[in-house]
């Protein structure tokens, strides 16, 4: 209700059994999964030189993880309903941790990409159960909003914090340490979950393998098509075939969900207008933001000569703002509702990305980079931190696993497709460009930032559809 303020203190769990440890375990898992989507960005130049990736092939270091992660999240959510959410959480985080350990020893592109794929499988098993366990553990409305706000803050800030952590680890140790760092935290989360996280009551469910195959195959085909277009052009036969196949598979997936008695993505989740809008913006937000992380980390190192540590700290203004605003969401969302926050946030994002599209080889960090990063931090915090709460605060326990799976699927699929589209824009812009490597990088990334600004503009239009309905407490 208007004027209500909610303290961001740690909420109390339904069981009353070590709620701080339960919350810390689940938030640590989420932070690790989100960090892994961006922590590699700062290390990309070193990975490229050491393992021999091509300029466009380098994007697969990111996409191999986010593609599998996003493509299998719906199946992971349903598997949690079927086999037990805590069991899937523990199994997934363990697999993710082992893959991180193995990937840290990679000596070839194939080895690293295989490890990233297995990380994605583990993340897809653990991710939906993470938010579902949070929702079913903290059932009192005010406590659930607080817990979800903390979860949202961890998710949003994790994207930017990953760049800082990646810079520290790459500079002080090596790029391999960004894989190894997952090992102690992953095993600790698995052990603590086994001991302190309660297993919710299982509900009748079945695995929807046709749905999983069409969803994963459709996204994979689209990503492959966009990335191939970056190097081969839009008239290339395999490129067009892949894009058409991806679209057909995704349409087939929606048709399967509409007719299934036990869908992985229940279409009733989209019946509420605020939830449907939040899902769509959870897709568009990472799609627009990925250009900031992927291209700026290379720009700072290859054009301005920043080391990995300096690159990580260059993103500090963005990270601090996202995290700070995320902590304020329990107060801001009940007071103002989702629409003003989303409109202000997407406006700030559009402004920041437009400024980034004007970068040149000689642009200084202050103000040419500092100001856009401040705007991006404000924008992501205001526009996307409330979305977890909007989606999950009123969902039933029965749909918690599916709702969490769809939420994270939108986020990861948006990031994966966004990066593929932006790499295509980059490749198209630089295919016939001339000049130094720095000039080539700038010539490709500035159109990519302009495309990101257009995507953020669509997110603004979606934000206009939010009702001024406030969370119930």
Distances (CA, A) of 196 to 17, 21, 188, 286, 426: 7, 7, 12, 32, 47
DSSP-derived 3-state class of residue 177: helix
Please, what CATH class does the domain formed by 19-199+209-463 belong to? mainly alpha
pTM of the model: 0.76
Q: For residues 408 and 13, what is the distance between their CA atoms, to the nearest angstrom?
A: 23
Q: For residues 278 and 386, what is the distance between their CA atoms, to the nearest angstrom?
A: 9
Q: What is the dihedral of CA 198, 201, 207, 211, to 10 degrees?
A: -80
Write down the pLDDT at residue 473: 41
Write down the pLDDT at residue 469: 55
Q: What share of the chain is helix, strand, coil (3-state, %, to 5)?
A: 80, 0, 20
User: Is the CB of residue 75 less than 8 Å from the CB of residue 162?
Assistant: no
User: Is the CB of residue 391 less than 8 Å from the CB of residue 403?
Assistant: yes
Write down the pLDDT at residue 3: 37
Within a 13 Å sphere around the CA of 134, how many CA atoms are in the beta-carbon half? 32
Q: What is the DSSP letter of 265?
A: S
Write down the pLDDT at residue 359: 93
User: Is the CB of residue 396 less than 8 Å from the CB of residue 361?
Assistant: no
Closest to 77 (Cα-Cα) out of 407, 434, 359: 407
Within a 13 Å sphere around the CA of 73, how many CA atoms are in the beta-carbon half? 28
Q: Tokens in use for 447? A: 């159109």
DSSP-derived 3-state class of residue 153: helix
Tens of pLDDT, residue by residue, the chain (473 residues): 333 333 444 444 444 457 778 888 888 887 887 777 677 777 888 888 888 887 667 778 877 887 787 778 777 877 887 788 888 889 999 999 999 999 999 998 889 999 999 998 998 888 778 877 887 777 777 777 777 777 766 766 666 677 777 778 888 888 898 889 889 888 888 998 888 887 776 666 667 778 878 887 887 788 778 777 766 777 888 889 999 998 999 999 989 988 887 777 888 888 888 889 999 998 998 888 876 777 888 898 889 888 877 887 888 888 788 878 877 877 887 788 788 888 999 999 999 999 999 999 989 888 999 999 999 989 988 888 778 777 876 777 677 667 777 877 787 778 777 877 888 888 888 877 778 888 888 998 999 999 999 999 999 999 998 876 554 44
Residue-range domain boundaries for the chain: 19-199+209-463
Write down the pLDDT at residue 93: 92
Write down the pLDDT at residue 2: 36
């Amino acid at each position: 209700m208007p004027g209500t303020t909610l303290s961001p203190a740690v909420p109390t769990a339904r069981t009353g059994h070590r709620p701080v440890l339960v919350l810390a375990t689940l938030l640590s898992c989420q932070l690790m999964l989100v960090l892994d989507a961006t922590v590699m960005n700062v290390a990309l130049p070193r990975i490229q030189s050491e393992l021999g990736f091509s300029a466009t092939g380098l994007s697969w270091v990111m996409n191999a993880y986010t593609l599998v992660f996003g493509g299998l999240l719906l199946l992971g959510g349903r598997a949690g309903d079927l086999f037990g959410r805590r069991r899937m959480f523990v199994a997934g985080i363990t697999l993710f941790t082992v893959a991180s350990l193995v990937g840290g020893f990679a000596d070839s592109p194939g080895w690293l990409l295989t490890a990233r794929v297995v990380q994605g499988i583990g993340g897809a098993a653990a991710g939906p159960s993470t938010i579902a366990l949070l929702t079913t553990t903290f059932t009192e409305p005010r406590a659930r909003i607080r817990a979800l706000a903390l979860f949202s803050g961890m998710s949003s800030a994790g994207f930017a914090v990953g760049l800082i952590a990646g810079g520290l680890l790459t500079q002080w140790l090596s790029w391999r340490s960004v894989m190894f760092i997952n090992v102690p935290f992953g095993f600790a989360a698995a052990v603590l979950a086994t001991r302190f996280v309660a297993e919710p009551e299982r509900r009748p469910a079945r695995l929807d393998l046709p749905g999983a195959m069409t969803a994963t195959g459709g996204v994979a085909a689209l990503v492959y098509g966009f990335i191939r277009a970056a190097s081969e052009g839009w008239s290339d036969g395999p490129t067009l075939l892949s894009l058409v196949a991806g679209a057909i598979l995704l349409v087939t997936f929606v048709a399967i969900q509409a007719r299934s008695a036990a869908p992985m993505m229940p279409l009733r989740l989209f019946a509420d207008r605020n939830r449907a809008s939040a899902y769509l913006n959870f897709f568009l937000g990472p799609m627009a933001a990925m250009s900031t992380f992927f291209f700026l980390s290379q720009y700072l190192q290859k054009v301005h000569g920043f080391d990995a540590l300096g690159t990580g700290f260059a993103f500090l203004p963005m990270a601090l703002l996202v995290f700070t605003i995320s902590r304020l969401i329990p107060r801001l969302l009940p007071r103002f509702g989702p629409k003003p926050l989303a409109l202000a946030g997407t406006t700030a994002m559009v402004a920041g990305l437009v400024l980034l599209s004007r970068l040149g080889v000689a642009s200084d960090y202050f103000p040419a980079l500092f100001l856009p990063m401040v705007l991006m931090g404000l924008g992501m915090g205001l526009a996307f931190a409330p979305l977890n709460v909007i989606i999950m605060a009123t969902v039933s326990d029965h749909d918690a696993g599916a709702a969490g799976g769809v939420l994270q699927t939108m986020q990861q699929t948006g990031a994966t497709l966004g990066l593929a589209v932006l790499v295509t824009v980059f490749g198209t812009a630089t295919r016939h460009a001339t000049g130094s490597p720095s000039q080539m990088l700038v010539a490709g990334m500035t159109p990519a930032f302009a495309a990101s600004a257009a995507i953020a503009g669509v997110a603004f239009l979606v934000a206009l559809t939010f009702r001024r309905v406030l969370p119930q407490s």
